[in-house]
Amino acid sequence: MPANGLDYSALFNRNLPPPSGPWDGHPRYNFIGGHSDPDMVPAEGFIESAARVFRGDPRNISMYNFSGGPQGILPLREFLVEKLAQHRGIETTIDDVLITSGSGQGIELINEILLEEGDTAIVEAFSFSGAIGNLRRRQVNVVGVDLDEDGMRTDHLAELLEGLRDQGVRPKYIYTIPTLQNPTGTVLTMERRERLLELSEEYGVPIFEDECYADLIFEGEYENAIRSMDDANRVLHIGSFSKTLGPGTRLGYVVAPWEVMSRLLSRKNDAGTGVMDQMIVGDYFTHHYEEHILDMRAALKRKCDVLSSALRESFGPSIEFDVPRGGMYLWVKLPAGVDSRDLVAPALREGIAFNPGPDWSADPDAAAGYIRLCFALPSDAEIREGIEKLADVFRREGALP
- Mean pLDDT for the chain overall: 92
Instruction: Check residue 13 and give its pLDDT.
Output: 86
pLDDT value, residue 368: 95
Flag whether pLDDT at 244 surpasses 70.
yes
**pLDDT, mean of residues 6-27:** 83
pLDDT at 124: 97
Residue boundaries of the structural domains of the chain: 29-42+291-396, 44-287
Range from 18-27, 195-204, 282-291 that averages highest in pLDDT: 195-204
Residue 272: per-residue pLDDT: 80
What secondary structure, in 3-state letters, does the chain show?
A: CCCCCCCCCCCCCCCCCCCCCCCCCCCCEECCCCCCCHHHCCHHHHHHHHHHHCCCCCHHHHCCCCCCHHHCCHHHHHHHHHHHHHHHCCCCCHHHEEEECCHHHHHHHHHHHHCCCCCEEEEECECCHHHHHHHHHCCCEEEEECEECCEECHHHHHHHHHHHHHCCCCCCCEEECCECCCCCCCECCHHHHHHHHHHHHHHCCCEEEECCCHHHECCCCCCCCHHHHCCCCCEEEEEECHHHHCHHHCCEEEECCHHHHHHHHHHCCCCCCCHHHHHHHHHHHHHHHHHHHHHHHHHHHHHHHHHHHHHHHHHHHHCECCCCCECCEEEEECCCCCCHHHHHHHHHHCCEECEEHHHHECCHHHHCCEEEEECCCCCHHHHHHHHHHHHHHHHHCCCCC
% residues pLDDT > 90 (the chain): 74
Mean pLDDT lowest among 58-62, 164-168, 233-237 = 58-62
* Percent share of the chain, pLDDT over 70: 98
What number is the average pLDDT over the span 19-41? 86
Asked if the model's pLDDT at residue 1 lies above 80, the reply is: no
Going by pLDDT thresholds of 50, 70 and 90, the confidence category of residue 183 is very high
Confidence of residue 157 (pLDDT cuts 50, 70, 90): very high
Higher pLDDT residue, 60 or 219?
219
Which of residues 391 and 3 earns the better pLDDT score?
A: 391
Read off the pLDDT band of 227 (50, 70, 90): very high
CATH code: domain 44-287 is 3.40.640.10
pLDDT of residue 10: 83
CA 344 → CA 186, 368, 374, 401, distances in Å?
A: 25, 12, 15, 18
Q: What is the mean pLDDT of residues 79-95?
A: 94
**Is residue 37's pLDDT more than 90?**
no
Residue 63 confidence (pLDDT): 64
Closest CA to 394 of 347, 328, 341: 347
Which CATH number is correct for 29-42+291-396, 3.40.50.1580, 3.90.1150.10, 3.40.50.720, 2.60.260.20? 3.90.1150.10
User: Mind listing the pLDDT tens digit for each residue in 92-128?
Assistant: 999 999 999 989 999 999 999 999 999 999 999 999 9
Nearest-angstrom CA–CA distance, 345 and 298: 33
Asked whether the predicted pLDDT for residue 62 surpasses 70, the reply is no
pLDDT higher than 90, residue 384: yes
pLDDT digits (tens, 9 = 90+) for 123-156: 999 999 999 999 999 999 999 999 999 999 999 9
pLDDT category of residue 64 using cuts at 50, 70 and 90:
low
Query: Per-residue pLDDT for 247 more than 70?
Result: yes
Among candidate residues 341, 279, 322, the one with its CA nearest the CA of residue 184: 322
Output the pLDDT for position 35. 85
317-344 mean pLDDT: 95
Burial string for 89-102 (b: 16+ CB within 10 Å, else e) reads ebebeeebbbbbbb
Matching CATH topology for 29-42+291-396 and 44-287?
A: no
pLDDT in the model for residue 136 = 94
Pairs from 233-236 (Cβ < 8 Å, separation ≥ 24): 233/257, 233/259, 233/260, 234/197, 234/200, 234/201, 234/206, 234/207, 235/197, 235/200, 235/206, 235/207, 235/208, 235/209, 236/110, 236/173, 236/206, 236/207, 236/208, 236/209, 236/260
Q: Please give the model's pTM, rounded to 2 decimal places.
A: 0.93
